């Protein structure tokens, strides 16, 4: 049965994996979203549609694809990332990135056109303008990051397939819940679920405070 230190380890790993993948997904997804929203280029609408489509991309499928890539028999097998936390992080990043990018694009599209003229009129070049627009749409962009985190912390298919739910190594809250359910340990499963909920709540509460204080 799981003892306290094991629970702690599961919680810690959950936060590490989901937190890191949210960060990676955001660090890549936000600038990409800004570029797609603001820069004109051929095929822009196509890229936009693709980004939005990936919202609905099933995490289990992403998990399968990453598994095939990270498997020893696969192209990136030499890295040895399968059944490890770093593999789980990479796999979740693949899911989080399109979500953050898509919502960022939507948020950026709400920025007024007049702001562009104002910004240029005050001496901005296009790169400075993109930062300005991002700053103006920051509430929406921040929402994108939060939605990305929500998806990461709650998803189970990807981390199960790529991580293998190995005790002490790649077991996170969601996969622990699946395991407990398969053993008909419904009470334990519910407890893990409550812990997950509390963590998500704490993270969102913290992020909200950051936002209220104007840090972001």
Partner 1 sequence: MSAAPLSLEGIHKSFGTKPVLRGLDAEVQAGEIFSIVGPSGAGKTTALRLLDLLDSPDAGRITFHGKSYPIRSPESLAQRRRMVLVMQNPTVFRATAFENVAYGLWLRGVPDAELRGRVFAGLDFVGLLEAAKESAEKLSGGEQQRIAFARAAVLNPEILLLDEFTANLDPFNVRLLEQSILRYRHETGCTVVIVTHNLFQAKRLADRVALLLDGRFVEVAPAADFFEHPVRPETRAFLSGEMAY
Partner 2 sequence: MTALRRPREPLPWPSFVTVWRVAFVLAALLILAGMAVSIDLQPRSFIILATTTSARDSGLLDYLVPYFQSDTGIGVRYTAVGTGQALDLGSRGDADVVFVHAPSAELAFMASGQGLCRSPVMMNQFVVVGPNQSDPAGILGLTNATIAFERIRTTHALFISRGDNSGTNIIEKTIWSWVGYTPSTTNDTWYKESGQGMAATLDIASQLVAYTLSDDGTFLVHSANLDLRIDVQHDPALRNFYSVIPVNPSVHPSIFVAGALRFAKWLTSERGQSLIGNYTAGGVRPFQPDGQDLCP
| Residues at the interface with partner 1 (CB under 8 A) | 112, 114-115, 117-118, 120-125, 128, 132, 135-136, 138
Handedness of CA 19, 23, 25, 29 (dihedral sign): positive
Contact of 129 with 120, CB cutoff 8 Å:
yes
Closest by Cα among 37, 32, 44, 42 to 113: 37
Q: Does 82 bind partner 2 (CB under 8 A)?
A: yes
Nearer to partner 1, 187 or 212 (CB): 212
Tokens representing 23? 């960060």
Cα radius of gyration (the chain): 20
Nearer to partner 1, 6 or 136 (CB): 136
Q: Does 115 bind partner 2 (CB under 8 A)?
A: no
CB of 32 to partner 2, least distance (A): 9
Rounded-to-integer distance, Cα 97 and Cα 105, Å? 12
Nearer to partner 2, 33 or 102 (CB): 33
CB of 38 to partner 1, least distance (A): 16
CB of 200 to partner 1, least distance (A): 28
Contact of 178 with 160, CB cutoff 8 Å:
yes
193 binds, among partner 2, partner 1, none (CB under 5 to 8 A by kind): none
Q: Does 187 bind partner 2 (CB under 8 A)?
A: no
Nearer to partner 1, 53 or 131 (CB): 131
Q: Does 18 bind partner 2 (CB under 8 A)?
A: no
CB of 148 to partner 1, least distance (A): 22
Nearer to partner 2, 53 or 183 (CB): 183
15 binds, among partner 1, partner 2, none (CB under 5 to 8 A by kind): none
- Which residues of this chain interact with partner 2, rule CB under 8 A? 16-17, 19-20, 23-24, 26-27, 31, 71-74, 77-78, 80-87, 89, 124-125, 127-128, 131-132, 134-135, 138, 164-169, 181-185, 215-216
């Amino acid at each position: 049965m799981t003892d306290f230190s094991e629970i702690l380890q599961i919680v810690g790993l959950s936060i590490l994996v989901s937190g890191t993948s949210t960060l990676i997904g955001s660090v890549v997804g936000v600038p990409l979203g800004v570029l797609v929203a603001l820069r004109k280029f051929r095929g822009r609408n196509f890229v936009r549609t693709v980004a939005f489509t990936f919202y609905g991309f099933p995490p289990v499928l992403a998990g399968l694809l990453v598994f095939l890539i990270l498997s020893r028999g696969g192209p990136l097998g030499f890295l040895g990332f399968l059944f490890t936390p770093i593999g789980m992080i990479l796999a979740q990043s693949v899911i989080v990135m399109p979500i953050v990018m898509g919502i960022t694009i939507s948020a950026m599209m709400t920025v007024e056109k007049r702001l562009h003229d104002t910004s240029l009129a005050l001496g901005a070049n296009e790169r400075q303008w993109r930062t300005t627009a991002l700053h103006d749409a920051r509430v929406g962009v921040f929402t994108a990051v939060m939605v990305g985190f929500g998806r990461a912390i709650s998803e189970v298919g990807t981390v199960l397939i790529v991580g293998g739910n190995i005790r002490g190594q790649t077991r996170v809250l969601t996969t622990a819940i699946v395991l407990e359910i398969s053993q008909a340990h419904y009470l334990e499963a519910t407890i893990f679920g409550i812990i997950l909920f509390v963590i998500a709540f704490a993270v969102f509460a913290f992020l909200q405070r950051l936002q209220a204080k104007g840090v972001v």
